Amino acid sequence: MTSRREFLATVGAAALAGCVPAGKPPLPPGELLGMNLARGHRLRDATLPPPTATRQTGVLIVGGGISGLAAGWWLARHGYDDFTVLEMDEVPGGNSRGGQSATHAYPWGAHYLPLPGTEAALVRELLAELGVLQGDPGAPRPLYDERYLCATPQERVYRNGLWEEGLLPHRGLDAGERAEQQRFHARMDELKRLRGRDGRRVFALPMALSSADAEWRALDRLSFRQWLLDNGFTAPTLHWLANYACRDDYGCDYAQTSAWAGLHYFVCRNGEAGNAAGDTVLTAADGNGWLVRGLAKTVGERLLCGAAVARIAEGGAGVSADVRVGDAVVRYQARQLIWAAPAFVLPHVWPALPDELKAAARAGDYAPWLTANLHLSALPEERYGAPPAWDNVFYDSPGLGYVTASHQLLRRHQGGTVFTYYRALNEVAPAEGRRLLLDTPREAWAEGILAELERVHPDIRRLATRLDVFRNAHAMRRPVPGALFGGERESLANFRHPRIFLAHADLSGFSLFEEAQYRGVVAAGRVLAQAGRPAQMPS
């Protein structure tokens, strides 16, 4: 692991010292944003006063991220309207939220959705409802609204002073490394089709549909790096790609990622389209914010933001939850409760949580994450190589790169744009990363980000009119070796209670839109079944 001193050296030592490098323009203005840390810590640390009001609801859904919104969406579309969704932050969406300035929309987190395969039937149902998937959601190769298909070029990687088209570098490689890349692609194609002894695909999406074959689940005990080495993959570009993938989706180094999870990244998705290549992604200017809006529209006025659940208790024929809403405490009384917030919070608010579940909820660690939005007055100067793309990845850099908010509009004249920069704080232990997020000023992050980007775009400081930084201390549960099968993660996923249901991507062990939506719908389905309104999952 990198030391704190070494990590801070990549952030911006000059800004930490309170100065800007000589000859550089002053840092652009901006804010230090993030999930509501004060409100979250208040749940853990503050004494809870007695409630001053009581409200009734049939189902209380705790958490307005994708899982909670998907639970509400599934209830509402099956005619069950007596529910309330509570979100601690001021806006819903969790890791999929977006932002909006006077001129541009932009993401704050997840920024794309791969074409869903037939296994991801719930995603297809939602996309059809939103009018993005056109025709039969069960069709092998449906058509998609072209406004949401990522415009080309989709991605490029910056390496050795040049941009290269695609994500896997190819310039200047010897014949041996090129052959190894081809062998890796062939192996991934083989694993996409592979089925376990139970007839299921070994790596499916959602992951709960994957084969339970013990031979393949044993990969969870290895690291992804070790799997590559064990299978004769030694090429530096392949190891870089594997590490990039794990940092990008899981927030951790590939040497700290379950081999099952690492392979799942590469082979779980098999979606096709009648009007796009299979590797095309769905996106919009605000990333996955359009999906949040679609789900939230169905939930409607039943969504309350700025509401932090501080205490859960069972009693009589239902569940009560004491909720901080501003300075007041409101007691919600419900027949059932869906917990769609991160699992690690649950032991703090449900004292009667069974001990096994407390241990499972606390066992997972979470990746700290940083996002920044750079507002630019014009498109910056380009280096040589492949033309500007939507996803612009750095080969040898602390950050992952950036996506361009205006890429879908490049056919029109653009006076400016927004670059959304991503960085997983995987170089340090998660607890240390959270401390750094809490202690490091915006100016330090801004200086480090600009110093990194100007290696690629020399004039970016001059063009930057604003730079906002968003901190996410518990961005995603990390799928470290041994975390997915035969332990705490499965205890969470298999938990059954007559009134309290769990629904979050934590039940899958990693944070993907498809996983979060699936877990929310499964919990809502159990509520409907108890109410005598069973709703069949799409197949």
Domain 176-278 has CATH 1.10.405: yes
Confidence category of residue 408, pLDDT binned at 50, 70, 90: confident
Q: Distance of alpha carbon 416 from its chain centroid, rounded?
A: 27
- What pLDDT score does 103 carry? 87
Q: What confidence category does residue 41 fall into, taking pLDDT thresholds of 50, 70 and 90?
A: low
| Lowest-confidence region among 24-33, 40-49, 79-88, 371-380 | 40-49
Check if the beta carbon of residue 438 is closer than 8 Å to that of residue 37.
yes
Q: pLDDT tier at 415 (50, 70, 90 boundaries)? A: confident
| Strand partners of residue 471 | 34, 370
| Residue 268, pLDDT above cutoff 70 | yes
Distances in Å between the Cα of 109 and the Cα atoms of 15, 93, 96, 287 are: 25, 9, 5, 7
pLDDT mean over 139-163: 96
Cβ(450)–Cβ(376) under 8 Å? Answer: no
Q: Which of 219, 218, 226 is nearest to 242 (CA)?
A: 226
* pLDDT digit string, tens, across residues 118-135: 999 999 999 999 999 999
pLDDT category at 486 given cuts 50, 70, 90 is confident
- Tokens 């009119």 found at: 465
What is the fold of 4-30+365-476? Polyamine Oxidase; Chain A, domain 2 (3.90.660)
Mean pLDDT of the region 446-467: 96
* Secondary structure percentages of the chain, helix, strand, coil, to 5: 35, 25, 40
Q: Given this model, what pLDDT does residue 192 score? A: 97
* pLDDT recorded at residue 506: 97
Residues of the chain with CATH 3.90.660: 4-30+365-476
pLDDT of the residue at 42: 61
**In what helix (H) or strand (E) does residue 514 lie, and over which residues does it extend?**
helix 513-530
Q: What is the pLDDT of residues 271-296, one digit of tens each?
A: 999 999 999 999 999 999 999 999 99
Which whole-number Å values give the CA distances from 270 to 156, 198, 229, 274, 281, in the listed order?
22, 20, 26, 14, 12
Determine the pLDDT at residue 209. 97
**Six token digits for residue 342:** 């991160």
**DSSP count for the chain of H helices, then E strands:** 18, 22
pLDDT at 11: 73
**What's the rounded Cα separation, in Å, for the pair 515 and 334?**
26
Q: How far is CA 364 from CA 257, 335, 449, in A?
A: 13, 29, 29
Q: Which residues on neighbouring strands pair with residue 281, listed in sequence order?
A: 114
* CB neighbours of residue 82 within 10 Å: 13
How far is the CA of 264 from the CAs of 57, 258, 267, 293, 406, in angstroms?
39, 10, 5, 28, 30
Average pLDDT over residues 402-414: 78
Cis geometry, peptide bond prior to residue 236 (ω within 30 degrees of 0): no
pLDDT surpasses 60 at 19: no
Confidence of residue 353 (pLDDT cuts 50, 70, 90): very high
Helix (H) or strand (E) holding 266: helix 259-267
Length of the chain equals 539
Residues 6 or more apart in contact with residue 294 via CB below 8 angstroms: 126, 129, 130
Phi, psi of 127 (to 5 degrees): -65, -35
pLDDT for residue 20 is more than 70: no
Bridge partners (DSSP) of residue 502 are 339
Q: What is the pLDDT of residues 49-93, one digit of tens each?
A: 999 999 999 999 999 999 999 999 999 999 999 999 999 999 999
Amino acid identity for residue 227 in this structure: W
Single-letter residue type at 480? V
The residues with which 114 forms a beta bridge, in sequence order, are 281
Q: Distance (Å, rounded) from C-alpha 44 to C-alpha 41?
A: 5
- Round the average pLDDT of the chain to a whole number and report it: 93
pLDDT of residue 449: 97
Q: Which residue(s) pair with 303 in the sheet?
A: 85
Q: Is the pLDDT of residue 373 over 90?
A: yes
Scan for tokens 């896997």, then name that residue: 168
Q: What are the DSSP calls for 283-339, one per residue?
A: --TTTTHHHHHHHHHHHGGGEEESEEEEEEEEETTEEEEEEEETTEEEEEEEEEEEE
3-state secondary structure of 536: coil
Q: Where in the chain is the domain with CATH 1.10.405?
A: 176-278
- Alpha-helical regions (H) of 78-174: 121-129
* Token pair recorded at residue 113: 């959705």
Reported as a single tens digit per residue, the pLDDT across 490-534 is 999 999 999 999 999 999 999 999 999 999 999 999 999 998 888
pLDDT score for 435: 95
Q: Is the pLDDT of residue 338 over 70?
A: yes
CATH 3.50.50.60 domain residues, the chain:
39-97+286-364+480-530
Class of domain 39-97+286-364+480-530: alpha beta
Share of the chain above pLDDT 70, in %: 93
Phi, psi of 401 (to 5 degrees): 125, -155
Per-residue pLDDT, 37: 62
Pick 46 or 98 by higher pLDDT. 98
Q: Is the pLDDT assigned to residue 161 strictly greater than 70?
A: yes
| β-strands 328-339, 113-114 pairing | unpaired
Q: Which amino acid is at 442?
A: R
Distance of CA 482 to the CA centre of its chain: 21
Q: What is the mean pLDDT of residues 301-317?
A: 94
Q: How confident is the model at residue 325 (pLDDT cuts 50, 70, 90)?
A: very high
Strand-pair category, 464-477 with 32-34: parallel
CA 298 remoteness from chain centre: 22
User: Is residue 539 pLDDT above 60, yes or no?
Assistant: no
Six-digit token string for 106: 């932009």
Distance set, CA 223 to CA 140, 259, 431, 480 (Å): 34, 5, 21, 8
Instruction: Say yes or no to pLDDT of 392 above 60.
Output: yes
Taking phi first (over 0 means left), then psi (-120 to 50 degrees means alpha), and beta for anything else, what does residue 461 get? alpha
> What are the residues facing 149 on neighbouring strands?
282
pLDDT at site 271: 97
